A and B are shown apart, each in its own frame.
Chain A
Amino acid sequence: MTDMASLMEDRAAAKVISDNLRKPVDWDSPKIARNIKKRYAAERRFKIYGLAAIFLALTALFVLAGSIGSKGYSAFYQTYVQLEVTFDKSVIDPDGTGDPEVIGRANYDGLIKSALRERFPDVTARRDKRNLYGIVSGGASYDLRERVLENPSLIGQTRSVWLISGDDFDMLNKGYIDPAVPEGDRRLNDQEVGWYNELVADGAVDKQFHARFFTNGDSREPELAGIWGAAVGSFYTLIVTLALSFPIGVLAAIYLEEFAPKNRFTQIVEVNINNLAAVPSIVFGLLGLEVYLNVMHLPRSAPVVGGLTLALMTLPTIIIASRAAIKAVPPSIRQAALGLGASPVQTVTHHVLPLAMPGILTGTIIGMAQALGETAPLLMIGMVAFIVDVPGSALDPATVLPVQIYLWADSPERAFVEKTSAAIMVLLAFLVLMNGLAVYLRKKFERKW
């Protein structure tokens, strides 16, 4: 019936066209020429608009990446100072026990201080000495301790050692402190700059790859602060999020798409899921605070709570993506399976789900990437915190990468500016990796129908 009707319509349309065709068109007439010119101009304009849009987006991206990169690359290396350190036996191991416990407790800070005093013997005033000790970071004593514990034969010897420098000297060496500005206006006074120049002249200042940035937890000393603690926190949080939101999301999507009757109830559920996907993340944070902390009494600041909260946030994303992926599996696959005697559950688990998996995984990874970049809900559950210890489980207090960026961006010390940018680079690298994985999975398992 409908076929007949459309056939009649087609015929009528064809007649109109052929009637017009009968009149010869003068392609050289000025009217047509104008018309064609206009059409070409419109085409060109459209292309220019498109190119301009892409150009703008790319410029914004380059400016962002450029400013982050130019500020942050210097955080990947660190200034080291070479000093003659005497591993004084009377300080490290006065009784000659060789006991690692005794050696471990020794005052390595004192060794570094006396090495600095020997290097600059004319510094006597108390205040100047304090400035002098600032050349070397407070963390350097731990390096010395490790070194001696590893190689006890050092005790009693004098060796030249490269020690990690303090943050102000690092900034000076990297050119962020300008020695040309008046003395009172900079962090380092003329005497300190003089020491620096003397050390440089002796070849005792060097830049080395800053591995600590990747292996340490947070610290208030910029030169000791690292992102490992935050990265581990992010890892635990995402694991919890994934373990919870992936199975629940996929099950919900399968049920809604394959089994649920289409009635008012499922419609309401559907509208709500779409709505939840647009709810600001801070709302999930408040919910997490109320439910997980106040009612269930889970530990504050723990990745498990962060993960549970972020799972709520990513669930709608995963459900929507999974439903779209399941819908894209052609009905013929289901019909064939059912026709061969598979039960509805077998049809779904053996055929529909494997075919929908690339789409589901893509949606899940994008949801996870979103969760990785989230800070607002974590504020409410206490993950925006200064935490030095690297978390050992999902129950230890932890923070996550974007929160670490926020905390560093808010720190007064100049050296944290480069750390902030470097941490942003690391976070971006993770996001690129995750999105790249999503693209790879899609390309690898995608089926064209």
Chain B
Amino acid sequence: MTFSRRKTALGLSAGVAILALTVAGCSSSDDPEPSTSATGGAMESTSPDANAEPVTLTLATFNTPGYNSIEQPDANYEYDLIQEYMDANPNVTITYDRKAESGDARTNFFAKLGPGGLADVEMVEVDWMPEVMQYSDLLADLTDPSLDGRWLDSKVADATDQDGRLIGAGTDVGPQAVCYRSSLFEEAGLASDPDGVADLLDGDWANFFDVGQKYFDATGKAFFDSTGGIWQGMINQIDPAYEDADSGDIIALDNPEVKAAYDQLTVASKDQSTHLGQWSEDWFAGMQNDAFAVMLCPPWMLGVISGSAADATDWNIANVYPNGGGNWGGSWLTVPANGANVDEAKKLADWLTAPEQQAKAFANAGTYPSQPAAYEDPLVASASNAFFNDAATGTIFADRAQAVLPSPYKGTYYFQVNTAITDALTRVDDGTDAPDASWDKAVTDINNIG
């Protein structure tokens, strides 16, 4: 799959996009120093008259970013960020379009990125960010000195292309902790208070699986929620994992660390995994019916658990993560360069991702800020979760976020290679194949990519 971006004639739409990009590029990235102020470089490129002109901006997101109550009519958000922005900028009208799932947004994004028709501000999720980065030239550069230091380093690194253009303004992140069932830990004779569990699981993956084995030996039940979930945690700590950052070649099969992690996990999962697919019906049901005792959990997972396990009263959060830190999920706001209101759109993206607003979004919908300054905000710092026995989520996840290292390089083929390996793990889970035979199939699949 070598995209020949420079080889053949560009279509009309792409040509227009590039033209728009050149214009946008001139006004922002090429002259960094003189045209900036505290409010952002975008301000300068619009004339004062244009400021007063009415503008309609479209904002497209998915899931529940926490901007406006239409995302979750039942939840009744405390803050309406959309209205707040329109009040502060009377000339701006925002049309808010929210898709139910990230997958829908992705399909829409790639269908319209070339020909045009995307919203002025488009939300992009971490899972498909590597694919978006291939087309970073079609998105406006958001680089601005006023934004320096706003986000966690890893958040900025993932949205910066090879030319140093920042194409995404980070919204939330998913620093992972360990969610566990205290009564099940107690049953197994293990420490069950959050600090005790944190001590127990403090260490590498081998330690995590040792505890898991103890749990299994004591109870005969599965320890963790799903093999796929644990793999996600392990592979995100291997750098480089699947692809070489310089050449873009697939190195997954030559990388001994990948195979070692696969072997380590398949050995452990035999006893310790529920063998359920993540997000399957049974997996959801398992949160309540004691199918497993631990689960790696980013902040947004808390809502999933409390929503699926309303009758379980012993869920808790341990401020720990095997082998360092880990991130699962998170998004950015991007501004397509061929949009009609690029400058106004950049201002909106800038405002929405400022620490104060993200703290409110967190209060609304639990989307954990990617802006360290927001961790001091009382809305975040003093947050706790009643369902998780009043766990101090604000401080726990702030600690977890600091432990997250910049995520390993993810190139164009990341998703396909990862699917091949998670499929292999699922086959072992299902008993379709033995670990080695299943790996061989994955090898065939991975060799077939490209």
Q: Are A and B interaction partners?
A: no
Residues of chain B whose beta carbon lies under 8 Å from any beta carbon of chain A:
none
